[in-house]
């Protein structure tokens, strides 16, 4: 299985998965079901996490196909631009879905403003993802490219090309952007890893006489904020110089990021962590999840630091 195959396989998650989530969310709204809302929020969040690997795998696929006969460079550029916009909205949908889940665990309901924001973002994201997928499908299917001969449509395609490339040019032409993003990236990493260690080490029994899980739960938004900062600044690097972020090691890092993001759902959805009060030990399952979270994020750090040596970075 080569890079284009992997990208095509992963493309099913943001399209099919998000469609299922949106359908379930609409049913939940009509049925006024809180449980279905939570289920759809989980799907939105998990789909957004999986979309990270889907998006970054496109760089490897592009490198593998750019010189292939019959492959349109303009279509690839149009797909890249459409995917970037859809990716941004997908991550926003995932973030507010996660926030809704976090609030629900505290007050047993999802506030109306959160439902409205997720609904608007989800509908827009669905349209953007469908558009990106349609353009991507045309790259290898000339039989559906007939409308591209229309001058108006061709002009639209050409207009879409500069989006991702122009961002790369902006980063290269403004020397302050990269170091600023690097600084924010490390700040976000410190926030994320600080929360991961605080929560998970407590679940492993360290400092058990000091804090309950209910108290530590209040820290999760701080960790998610750090994750969001990391994701945003990481995309600055990736979109600016995608050729540096290809190969197995980088893809492994992104897969671990996805697993680490999904790992936090255990502490938000299941009851076992909430039984851990001051002075109490967590269950074996909770300890295993906590230990795995620490290992996952250490592995993410390791892969990131090894990119200059075993990847294509720098």
Number of CB atoms found within 10 A of residue 193's CB: 18
Q: What is the pLDDT of residues 37-91, one digit of tens each?
A: 999 999 999 999 999 999 888 777 776 666 666 666 677 777 788 888 999 999 9
Instruction: Find the range with the poorest average confidence among 18-22, 104-108, 120-124.
Output: 104-108
Distance from C-alpha of 62 to C-alpha of 77, rounded to nearest angstrom: 9
User: pTM of this prediction?
Assistant: 0.88
State the distance between the two ends of the chain, measured CA to CA, in whole angstroms: 27
Amino acid 248: pLDDT: 86
How crowded is the C-beta side of 61, counted as CA atoms within 13 Å? 24
Q: What is the pLDDT of residues 239-260, one digit of tens each?
A: 888 878 888 888 899 999 999 9
Angle at 166 between CA 162 and CA 169, to 5 degrees: 145
Distances, alpha carbon 49 to alpha carbons 13, 55, 97, 140, in Å: 10, 10, 12, 26
Q: Calculate mean pLDDT across residues 284-293.
A: 95
Nearest Cα residue to 311 out of 259, 244, 223: 244
Instruction: Find the range with the poorest average confidence among 159-168, 215-224, 256-265.
Output: 159-168
- Sequence length of the chain is 314
Distance from C-alpha of 112 to C-alpha of 149, rounded to nearest angstrom: 46
Instruction: Find the range with the poorest average confidence among 94-98, 114-118, 140-144, 272-276.
Output: 140-144
Paired tokens of 210: 């000091």
Nearest Cα residue to 61 out of 131, 11, 114: 11
- Asked if residue 151 has pLDDT above 80, the reply is no
């Amino acid at each position: 299985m080569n890079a284009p195959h992997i990208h095509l396989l992963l493309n099913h998650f943001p399209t099919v998965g998000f469609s299922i989530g949106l359908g379930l969310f609409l049913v939940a709204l009509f049925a006024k079901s809180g449980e279905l809302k939570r289920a759809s929020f989980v799907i939105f969040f998990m789909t957004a996490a999986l979309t990270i690997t889907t998006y970054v795998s496109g760089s490897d696929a592009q490198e593998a196909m750019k010189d292939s006969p019959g492959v349109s460079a303009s279509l690839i550029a149009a797909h890249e631009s459409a995917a970037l916009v859809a990716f941004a909205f997908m991550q926003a949908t995932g973030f507010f879905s996660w926030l809704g889940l976090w609030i629900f665990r505290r007050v047993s309901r999802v506030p109306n403003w959160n439902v409205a924001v997720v609904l608007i973002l989800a509908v827009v994201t669905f349209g953007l993802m469908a558009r990106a997928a349609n353009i991507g499908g045309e790259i290898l299917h000339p039989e559906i490219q007939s409308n591209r001969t229309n001058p108006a449509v061709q002009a639209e395609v050409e207009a879409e090309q500069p989006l991702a490339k122009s961002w790369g040019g902006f980063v290269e032409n403004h020397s302050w952007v990269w170091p600023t993003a690097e600084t924010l990236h490390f700040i976000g990493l410190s926030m994320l890893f600080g929360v991961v260690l605080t929560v998970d080490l407590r679940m492993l029994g360290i400092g058990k006489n000091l804090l309950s899980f209910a108290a530590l739960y209040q820290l999760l938004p701080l960790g998610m904020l750090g994750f969001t900062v990391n994701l945003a600044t990481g995309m600055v690097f990736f979109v600016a110089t995608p050729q540096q972020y290809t190969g197995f090691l980088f893809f492994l890092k992104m897969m671990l990021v996805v697993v680490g993001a999904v790992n936090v759902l255990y502490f938000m959805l299941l009851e076992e962590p909430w039984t851990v009060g001051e002075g109490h030990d967590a269950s074996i399952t909770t300890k295993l999840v906590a230990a795995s979270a620490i290992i996952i994020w250490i592995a993410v750090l390791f892969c990131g630091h090894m990119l200059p040596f075993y990847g294509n970075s720098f």
